[in-house]
Amino acid sequence: MELTDNQQLIQDTVREFVEKEVADTVDEHDAAQTFPEDVWDGLAELDLTGLTVPEEYGGFDADKVTYSIVNEEIARGHLAVATALSVHCLATSCIRQFGTDEHKEEWLPKMVDGRPVGAFALSEPDAGSNPAEMSTEARLEDGEYVINGKKQWITNGKRAGVVILFAKTDRDDPDTVTQFLVPKDTPGLEIGKKEDKLGLRASDTTTLLFDDVRIPEENRLTEVGDGLKAAFSILTGGRIAIASQAVGVAQAALDAAVSYANEREQFGEPISNHQAIAHKLADMQTDVQAARLLTRDAARKNDGGLDPQAASMAKYFASETAVDVANEAVQVHGGYGYTKDFDVERYYRDAKITTIYEGTSEIQKEVIARHLTE
C-alpha cells in the first residue's frame, strides 16, 4: 500500500483537482445527462488524457498503480468522468500496443491533448459477454475495408473522434475478429440511440451504426483473427481501472455515511454512537480497504505482464463492494438517503454499473475459476 513520493503527489494533485473543479457540478450534469467538457479539458491540462501514452508522444506513461490511483480519485468525485477517461485510455492503449509508428504519430499526440476522444467498440446488441458472436463485418475490397454492423453500449459514443472497432473479416467465421482504427468522421458512421441509464447519466452511452463505412487497409491494427486476443489483453488493464473506480465510489459513499452519522442525532446523541450504525461503518471501512488492497495488488502484478486472474478478482470484489457500501450508505441516511438532496442516492445508482461493464461479475468469476483449473 505504500506509494512512492511521485505517486503520492499525483494522488494529491488529482484529489485537489476533483474537489475544486468537479464536485460542485456533478449533480447538474447528472440531472441534465450532459458531460462536463470543461472538466475533460482540465484533465488534459494535467496530462491525464495521456495516462497510457508513451512519453515520446507527449504522454504520461503511467505505471499501473498510478493509473489505478488516478481512476480511484476521479471516480470518488464523478464516476462518469472516470469512465470516460478509462475508455479513452483503452483506445490510446490499443494504438500504443497494436498501431504502426504512423498510427502512433498521427493519433497519440492529439489524444494526449484531449481531442480526439477515444471510444472502444466491442459489444453488440446480441454479443455482450461473448463477443465472438459479433456480427459486424469488415470486408476487404480493393485495398479498403468496408464495414457494416451495429455496436452498442459505447462510452464516449457521441463525443469520440476515433473509434477502436472490433469486427469480423468474415461474418460467419468467429475466428476472424480483427481490430481496426476508424476515424469518427468517416462517411457511413453514424451515432445511434443514446441510452437513458439508471446511473452514470453524465456519460454518453450510445450505439454506433456502420453503413458501408470505408477505411484504408492500413487502418487494420491487428492481424486478421487476433482481435479478441487483443481486446482481452487491453481489457485486463481496463478491469483494473474499473476496480479502482469502484473503490473510489465506495470510498465516497463511506465518507458521506460517516459524516452524516456524526451529525445526525437520534435519542439524544449522534447515530454513530449507536452500535447498529457503528458496526455498519466498521464493515464498510473494512470492505473498502480490502477492495483497495486487492486492486493495488492487481495493478502491481499487471505492471510486469498480464495477470487476468488478479484483474478479475479485483474487478469482481471491488465492484460488488461498491454496490454493498453504497447501499449501506443510503441506509445510514435513512429517508434522506433516498432523495436527490444527498450524494449517496447517486452513488447507489452509479455503483451498480461497475458490476456490469467491461465484464459482468459473473464473467469475472468465470475467469477466476478458469485460471484455478488450468
Active site residues: 358
Task: Give the count of beta carbons closer than 10 Å to the beta carbon of residue 45.
Answer: 12
Segment holding 322, helix H or strand E = helix 308-333
Strand partners, 209: 150, 190
Task: Give the count of beta carbons closer than 10 Å to the beta carbon of residue 373.
Answer: 5
Using CA atoms, how far apart are residues 4 and 66, in angstroms rounded to an integer?
A: 10
Instruction: Provide CB contacts within 8 A for 137, sequence distance 6+.
Output: 147, 148, 149, 167, 168, 169, 170, 171
Buried b (16+ CB within 10 A) or exposed e, 183-213: bbeeeebebeeebebebbbbbbbbbbbbeeb
Q: Which of 173, 177, 206 is nearest to 191 (CA)?
A: 206
Q: How far apart are the first and last CA of the chain?
A: 30
- Tallying the residues shown for the chain, one arrives at 374
Helix axes 79-98, 64-77, angle to 10 degrees: 150
Instruction: Provide CB contacts within 8 A for 219, sequence distance 6+.
Output: 145, 180, 181, 182
DSSP 79-145: HHHHHHHHHHHHHHHHHHHH--HHHHHHHHHHHHTT-SEEEEE--BTTBSS-GGG---EEEEETTEE
